[in-house]
Amino acid sequence: MAFAVRQRENLKLLYSAKTSSTEEIVVKAETSKQEQQKALKDKGVDVAPPSLEQLDGLLDGTATADDVKQSLGLTESPRSTEPAQPPSKPEQKPQEDGTKPEEKPSEQTETAEQRAKKAQEYIDQCVKALYSYEVDLMSDLGALKQQAIDEYTALPSEKHTKESKVSIGLKYLNICYDMEVVADGKVQGLLNQLRSDLTAIGAETDIADTLWLHYCEEKSTAKEYYLSKYL
């Protein structure tokens, strides 16, 4: 069922890519990125996404993943994937009469401001991880594109035909669709980690749903753009 839905969506995007001008699709892609960035800023997230130009550079092999990450400030060491744990209370020693001392809430629990700050840190870390993964994925797709070109170039001259291009193109397009399934799982894993971290400190988790919707919209627009550009 999921495969059928995915294929139907891909066919719709392919139709749109072939019936819309490249300029229209570029405007749509850039507008989508700007709207998503604004929506995230409204939620306190101020992490710049890779631009369409940078993604094109990764796909064309004129930019490296490390360079793009460096320019976007995505080169920090990844955080632990262990779920966050609620703040623990220090062990209290009994008083001389054997009773436990009274707890001081201000010293034992985080304030609302501290929890909000920690929640924002988790969200920012997740968004950075998502953008970093997007950069790596586009770099991998760039390498895959070069493989397709090399395969066509290696054919005997008499086989340098439109039919060969289509055959090789479809072969690698199917590989891209397989990579999409893996990417969906990776993104869901990052968002599940975010939900776990936020839940552990008693914070709202709706931002994870927002990020998933943004990912789906971005993916749809990107597929339409690249189908229009290369098919």
| Prediction pTM value | 0.78
| Structure tokens belonging to residue 169 | 């193109």
> For 98-108, what is each residue's pLDDT tens digit?
555 555 544 45
Rounded-to-10 torsion of CA 91, 97, 98, 103: -40
Instruction: From 131, 34, 119, select the one nearest 76 (Cα to Cα).
Output: 131
Q: What is the pLDDT of residue 146?
A: 96
| Structure tokens belonging to residue 227 | 């189908």
How far is residue 169's CA from residue 171's CA, in Å, rounded to a whole number?
A: 5
| Helix, strand, coil content of the chain in percent (nearest 5) | 75, 0, 25
**Residue numbers of the chain with a pLDDT score lower than 50:** 1-5, 15, 78, 80-84, 105-107
Q: What is the pLDDT of residue 58?
A: 95
Q: What is the pLDDT of residue 130?
A: 96
